[in-house]
Amino acid sequence: MNSLPLTLAQDAGLLEKLFFGGAGASPLAHYTDQVFLWILYFCIFWFVLLMGLMFYWVVKYRRRPGVPPQRSAHHNTRLELVWTIVPSVFLGAMFYFGFQGYITKLVSPTNAEVIDITGQKWDWVATYKNGVNPQEKVEIGGNTSAPVIIVPVGRPVQFRMTSIDVLHSFWIPDFRFKFDVMPNRYTSFWIEAEEPGDHWIFCAEYCGDRHSEMSAILRAVPADEYDATLARWWNETGALTPAQRGQRIATGMGGCIACHSINGSPGVGPTWKDAWGVEVALADGTKIPADDEAAWMNYVIESIRKPSAQIHAGFPSPSPMPLYNFTDEELGYLAAYIKSLSSKYAAPAETPAETPAEQN
Amino acid sequence: MTTIPTPHDHGHHEGSYLTPPKGGFFAAVIQWATTVDHKKLGVMYTVAVLSLFMVGGLAALLVRVELWEPTRVVLNEAGEAVTTGQFFQLGKTPAENYTWYNRFFTIHGAIMVFLVIVPGVPATLGNFLLPLMLGAKDVAFPRLNLLSWYIYCTGALFAILSLINTGVDTGWTFYAPYSSSHAANTYNNVVLMTTAAFILGFSSILTGLNFIVTIHKLRCPGMGWFDMPLFVWAMYATSIIQVLATPVIGITLLLLIFERIFHVGIFDPAMGGDPVLFQHFFWFYSHPVVYVMILPGMGIASEMIAVHARKPIFGYRAIAFASLGIAGVGFLVWGHHMFTAMGELASTIFSALTFFVAIPTAVKVFNWIATLYKGSIAFNTPMLYALTFLFLFSIGGLTGLPLATLATDMHLHDSYFVVAHFHYVMMGGTIIAFIGGLHHWWPKITGKMYTEWVGMTGCIMVFIGFNVTFFTQFFLGTQGMPRRYASYIDEFQTLHQISTVGSMILGAGMFVQLGNFLHSIVAGKKAPPNPWGGLSLEWYADSPPSEHNFHHEPILTHGPYDYEDVYPPHCDPADFPLPEPLPAGAKHH
């Protein structure tokens, strides 16, 4: 941060409060506010000057009957050069300070804590450095809940982001930064929280119906609490059965249950309730036989990898299902979860995902 | 100056272009439908553009009313999510409400951009005035002009079909892969809407081509390039952009349609496409087109300020070259729409280039204000609109600076700050200038005067409503409100409510203007040929102009802004006195 050439305000001034609702949550956010306010002063100066002259002349030279306009120069090269060059110098300064702040926020320190962010319609999923993605949610009023993403205070955190469907944008207003989240591409930026506290995260790139509900909470916690929480999540998830792991994928980062119901109600895709091992007619006339474990594994896993390869009769073709890059292990967990929803085979999985939320 | 023949020199009186033909109503309809007269085409475009402006404006008001309150969701007894305590919503359930909100903001954006602002000024005032200002009988290719009109109508028809087919929810920017693979495509509404924009492009290209040739070839004897009114310069710069940039959007939308229908993987990574490519293609057109939208507004402002201040435009050549400069540099800044999606090097280069385009724009504002110095400034509706333009456009331009600055843009991008900024430019600039221009040339176009006090009242209402609506949105943006949100967190409600109240005042002001125009057509006083004392050639023609504009080809003997030396045509010299003549041998600066 020492490379930044501006003095940093510690407390929010009046204008900063007016525009941003309060001080930023990191040194780089303060820097952005400073740049913004400097530009604002520049704008106010020119605006007042121009509008002042305009109103003054409109009144002073208002039309009076019989009074002609007065002669004056039709152009003035020296004046025109001055009013071209002077603002240009200021614009050059804006570019420079803007570049500094941008590049500092984008290029993260090599020792940063990496958190993987997956954007999807309409949810954010964080996967931490030890591989856990706990998908804790908090109620944010009414029936809506938002995922909580925790970051350690005082430690640089790099978000490594990708999307599984359309464009999203990961915006943390209190940190004055966002970056687009795209399918089949990783983007990143970094932050460093100064104090513990909650901050909003919004999706800033239009992504369909529930775009405005695609928010999350960024919770800055003390570094030791952060480490302890990650360790606790690791211990809890270590004890999960394959079906429980599958459930976490289906309800969390996979987002499967948005289209595949688990209670038998109709959805965009076939329900998973009591589906496993029941004969299925495909759109091309072939059938997936009942109670054939191998045939069902092949059918389910191929349908996740290539959603349009085998269309369940009565469902749209090509399949509207997005492409997921699940690992072989994750595919196995999902299959186990779907099977566990079938009363023919097993009782539904426990819901261990609740546990960490309660303890927090 | 006396060599410019005025309509009354010859005693005989040709009918105006508005004189209905013999044969009654159907003859008139056929005459208008098959006309190649630039004036009639200009009038038809004006009616179409204003009607669509009303549709787009009402969609905007619906959007603003929906935002009066955040969507609060509760579960009912049956366990279904329903909204509660909402003053107004667009659907029964939260899901329906969001869907319709998304469609309405798309309708608003798509109509305003593709059907109103982009074609707006060139097709309406441009068509009407360009030949008159050049002293020509018509544009260079009158039949092509008629073809442009029907292409525009076809495009508009496709857009309306798409709206009837449940509308589109992609936003006017059609970003892929949402638009290509995810948005609901009931009755091919997405394809219809993109086809509409594709077709409208051809209308833009043909009009632009027509104007370029007209300006090159049909200037009247005595009119050099620097004797053209600045409105003509603005049309010239606009036309160049239209001809060069529009094919790109045509190709892009065609690719989008291919991807949508045939699943060719160009934009959607799930089919092997590139997730950012669409934005590059789209903004490569749509950024230059921002200047297609604003340059004509600047041209109108130049005319209104010079005429009503009775002063030569300060730094005429600087404004003319600034128009061309903006048109040129405007092609090199598209990346600033994608600072949050591109690599560091590209963003840095585009940020620097964006600051370059700020300079000619600033120069123009300085020139307009300097023009007021020592003038004889009339206080009427067109001048009030010109001042409103300067006020709002200055805010629009200055608030572009934190968006061009990378560090601050990473916060403000895709927020309400951007929404406020481009409304200050597009509406505060272009639309305000357009409405001002309609007042300014209304007597020329219709031969009727509008009611001055009603016009001024409407302008003041628009000014107040506009600022209340959009100035609040700067604060919403800096505080963290993203664009295109049907709902929001409670902290933002007060500002949203202020903005909604403002939009109602703005809407009411617009209806006052509309009422004023309609009243003037029915009961307005007859307009003199030159009510404002203008010097450019359109003021030499009758109001409304005769079938062939001028009774004789004009020969230009003075510049368009020689208000210090030339008495305006058709006017009582006592009403427009001149300063003492310059001593012999003295030169203008």
* Rounded mean pLDDT, B245-254: 89
For the stretch B470-498, pLDDT in tens is 999 999 999 999 999 998 888 899 999 99
Of B185-194, B448-457, B461-470, which range is least confident?
B185-194
Query: Is A9 domain-assigned?
Result: no
Option in A31, A36, A69 nearest B564 (CB)? A69
Q: Average model confidence (pLDDT) for chain B? A: 89
Backbone angles phi, psi at A282, to 5 degrees: -95, 160
CA B489 from centroid of its chain's CA atoms: 33
Query: Which residue of B97, B329, B353, B406 is the best one to mutate when testing the A interface, meaning the one whose CB has the most A CBs within 10 A?
Result: B406
Report how far residue B562's alpha carbon sits from residue B564's, in angstroms, rounded to the nearest whole number.
5
More confident residue, A5 or A213: A213
Domain ranges of chain B: 24-540
CATH of domain B24-540: 1.20.210.10
A93 and A152 within one domain: no
- H or E element: which one contains B50? helix B38-66
- Same domain membership, residue A278 and residue A197: no
- Quickly tell me which residue has 């092997």 as its tokens: B272
**CATH number, domain containing residue A56:** 1.10.287
Reading the block at residue B490, the tokens are 């409670």
Where among A187, A218, A238 does a domain terminate? A238
Q: How much of chain A exceeds pLDDT 70, in percent?
A: 91
* Residue tagged 């009414």 (tokens): A142
B178–A42 CB contact, under 8 Å: no
**Shared-domain flag, residues A18 and A132:** no
Domain end: A238, A259, A278, which one?
A238
Q: Which chain B positions have a beta carbon within 8 Å of A164's beta carbon?
A: none
Q: What is the phi-psi region of residue B480: left when phi exceeds 0, alpha when psi lies from -120 to 50, beta otherwise? A: left
A51, A74, A140: residue with CB nearest B312: A74
Q: For residue A52, what are the domain limits?
A: 14-61+74-106
CB proximity list for B29: less than 8 A, separation 6 or greater? none
**Residue A27 belongs to a domain:** yes
Q: With CB atoms and an 8 Å threshold, state whether B377 touches A62.
A: yes
**Which residue from A197, A36, A183, A188 is spatially nearest to A112, judged by alpha carbons?**
A188
- For chain B, give the number of residues: 589
Which spans in B399-492 are helix H? 401-404, 406-412, 416-425, 432-446, 452-479
Q: Answer whether B407 sits within 8 Å of A98, measured CB to CB.
A: yes
Question: Could you write out the DSSP letters of every residue in A116-149?
Answer: EEEEETTEEEEE-TTS-----EEE-STT-EEEEE
From chain B, the residues in CB contact with A144 under 8 A are 73
pLDDT tier for residue B9 given thresholds of 50, 70 and 90: very low
Higher confidence at residue B183 or residue B251? B251
Residue (of A24, A106, A189) closest to B479 by Cα position? A24
Question: In terms of domains, do A333 and A259 share one?
Answer: yes
Contacts of B536 (CB under 8 A, 6+ apart): B133, B229, B303, B560
Q: Which of A54, A87, A178 sits opposite B413 (nearest CB)?
A: A178
CA distance B128 to B549: 10
| Domain presence at residue A67 | no
Q: Which of A257-271, A328-342, B305-319 has the highest mean pLDDT?
A: B305-319
Domain count, chain A: 3
Q: Is residue A342 part of a domain?
A: yes
Same domain, A267 and A349: yes
Burial of B454 (0-12, 13-18, 19+ CB in 10 A): middle
CA gap A342, A327 in Å, rounded: 23
Query: Hey, what are B373's tokens?
Result: 């110095």
Domain boundary among A238, A267, A282: A238
CB pairs under 8 A between A and B: 304
Q: What is residue A102's predicted lDDT score, i.e. its pLDDT?
A: 92
CA-wise closest residue to B177 among B264, B286, B289, B290? B264
For residue A191, report the phi and psi dihedrals to the nearest 5 degrees: -135, 165
Q: What is the pLDDT of residue B85?
A: 65
Summarize pLDDT for B216-239 with one digit per residue, the tens.
999 999 999 999 999 999 999 999
Q: Which two tokens stand for residue A234?
A: 């690791």
Q: Quick one: pLDDT at residue B178?
A: 86
Contact across the interface for B408 and A62, Cβ inside 8 Å = no
Q: Is A39 part of a structural domain of the chain?
A: yes
Q: What is the largest CA-CA distance in chain A?
A: 102
pLDDT per residue as tens digits for the range B140-173: 999 999 999 999 999 999 988 888 888 888 888 8
Write the CA distances from B54 to A212, B58, B59, B192, B211, integer angstroms: 27, 6, 9, 21, 27
- On whether both A182 and A279 belong to a single domain, the answer is no
Q: Answer yes or no: do A69 and B579 touch at CB < 8 A.
A: yes
CB-CB under 8 Å, A80 with B347? no
The verdict on residue A135 lying in a domain is yes
